[in-house]
Amino acid sequence: MHKVLIVSANPFSKSSNNGKTLESLFANFPKENLSQLFFTYSKNLDFDYCDNYFYLPDSIILHNLLSLKKQYGYVIGRKSINKKPVNNSFVSFFRRYFNSNNGFLNSNFLRDILWKFNDISKNRKLKEWIRLQSPDIIFFHAGGARFSYDIVGYISDVFEIPIFVYYTDDYILNPEYRSILQKLQHKRMYKFYPAMVERAKGCFAIGEMMATEYSKFFKKNFFPIMNQADFDKDGEINQDRNSSKEIISINYFGGLHLQRWKSIVRLGVIINKIALCNNLNIVVNIYTATHCTKDMFEQFERSKVNYRGILRGKELRDAQLNSDILLHVESDDVYYRSLTKLSVSTKLPEYLSTRNCILGFGPPEVASMRLLVDNNIGYYVNSGEDDIEVMNKLELLLADIELRKNIADRGYKYVCENLNPNIIRKQFEEQLNRL
């Protein structure tokens, strides 16, 4: 089996979306065959999948500009787990401020400028680490910042390693832009995106929609590959979980970014009205690692949405399995719906594998909603409709247990037939070998 160097913003993780997606792809690889170069620190590094990490943060560029004593990144293994890299307060402020999508600032544009001060060819520590890993393949989980493309290209040239590229978010075809710098960055993408796709031995995208659109745009075949969930055992238990209950639980699992939290607040208000009018006991819960502002907490409280914090591992899975309805939402905001148009949520395969009913609430053109509607595996409510229409549709779902069961069964059948992890991993490995 190939030795693979994964290059991505985020490391392997059992909790973060990107980390979980990478784990689902490489689950069959021996961990001694995997190494990972990443750029955003996580305290939840997963050493069950990989023991060889190299962390290359923005902070070393700032440090090297201000200090004579140079830094070159951090080699992280299981034995060095307690040696957490230190990010000073200025760097933390820099990342928080420039990662904001507000105003005329754009983090990728400014980060690319910052990384222009870094000569990756002088990073002997990184080169020695790669030499020790001796990878056969670079698997590049690509984003919207050029510096990572430059680093991947350099590693490929120096060590003569082929590149495979994987896109899970669309930053080039559909996004709307709200600032001059965002437009400038988008213009730059039309140069470094095609250059990377052209040199890549193989190209992957999350979901059929993105693979189709990217194949047309780049005039090169993209292979669709989604997140998977191990489901055989879980799907066979608690067959009566959708039976009549005194309390109906509607649970959301995942991030609240991209203004998803506002959609949940709106739903919370409507569901509370339904509960009062129909004498129903309905609870809406959010399970997330997202940091909430005071305003978010206050709006959750007013809409009677319960913020439950983060769950991991068995606790997370048990909470999903014991839900009556699993909620997925997307924002109606023009900017955010453009970002999510081609991206399928990584949690949908997990949802489908629980044999519970999925409620989708968002714009009709977004890939996650299209997946539910086109395959008839979820109950979809168009967020563009007024509150009365939304209420009427939700009342039908909440009143009809058999409807929820039928939707859940179709979803489980779909995930078994189309998102079987063993089949997808085998197809993925075959693509690497073939290309």
Question: Tens of pLDDT along 129-154?
Answer: 999 999 999 999 999 999 999 999 99
What band does 14 get if pLDDT is binned at 50, 70 and 90? confident
Distance CA 141, CA 408 (A): 32
176: number of CA atoms within 13 Å, CB side?
A: 9
pLDDT (average), residues 373-397 = 97
What band does 176 get if pLDDT is binned at 50, 70 and 90? confident
Q: What pLDDT, in 10s, does the model give residues 86-103? A: 454 555 555 555 544 443
pTM: predicted TM-score of the whole model, two decimal places: 0.89
Contact 345, 328 (CB under 8 A): yes
Q: At what angle do helices 124-133 and 146-159 cross, to 10 degrees?
A: 60
Q: How many residues does the chain have?
A: 435
Distance CA 169, CA 11 (A): 17
Give the helix/strand (H/E) hosting 297: helix 294-302
Give the helix/strand (H/E) hosting 282: strand 281-287
Q: What Å distances lie between residue 70 and 54, 61, 66, 88, 130, CA to CA? A: 16, 9, 9, 15, 20
Give the pLDDT of residue 102: 46
Angle at 412 between CA 425 and CA 354, to 5 degrees: 90
Burial 332-345 (b: 16+ CB within 10 A, else e): beeebbbbbbbbbb
Contact 360, 380 (CB under 8 A): yes
Give the pLDDT of residue 59: 85
Q: Is the pLDDT of residue 380 over 80?
A: yes
| Other Cβ atoms within 10 Å of 313 Cβ, number | 9
Give the pLDDT of residue 235: 47
Contact 126, 74 (CB under 8 A): no
Q: Which residues contact 309 (CB under 8 A, 6 or more apart)?
A: 287, 288, 289
Do the bridges between strand 53-55 and strand 74-76 make them parallel or antiparallel, or are there none, so unpaired?
Answer: antiparallel
**% of the chain exceeding 90 in pLDDT:** 67
Q: What pLDDT, in 10s, does the model give residues 33-73? A: 999 999 988 877 889 889 999 999 988 888 888 888 888 99
Phi-psi region of 78 (alpha: psi -120 to 50; beta: other; left: phi over 0): alpha
Give the pLDDT of residue 106: 53
Q: Which residues contact 137 (CB under 8 A, 6 or more apart)?
A: 2, 3, 4, 5, 161, 162, 163, 164, 432
Q: What Å distances lie between residue 353 and 5, 99, 409, 420, CA to CA? A: 30, 34, 10, 10
pLDDT (average), residues 240-262 = 84
Q: What pLDDT, in 10s, does the model give residues 325-374? A: 999 999 999 999 999 999 999 899 999 999 999 999 999 999 999 999 99
More confident residue, 227 or 23: 23
What band does 105 get if pLDDT is binned at 50, 70 and 90? very low
Q: What Å distances lie between residue 376 and 274, 353, 358, CA to CA? A: 25, 15, 11
**% of the chain exceeding 70 in pLDDT:** 90
Q: Is the pLDDT of residue 238 over 70?
A: no
Q: Which residues contact 216 (CB under 8 A, 6 or more apart)?
A: none
What's the chain's average pLDDT?
89
Give the pLDDT of residue 64: 85
Distance CA 157, CA 137 (A): 12
pLDDT (average), residues 3-13 = 94
What band does 242 get if pLDDT is binned at 50, 70 and 90? low
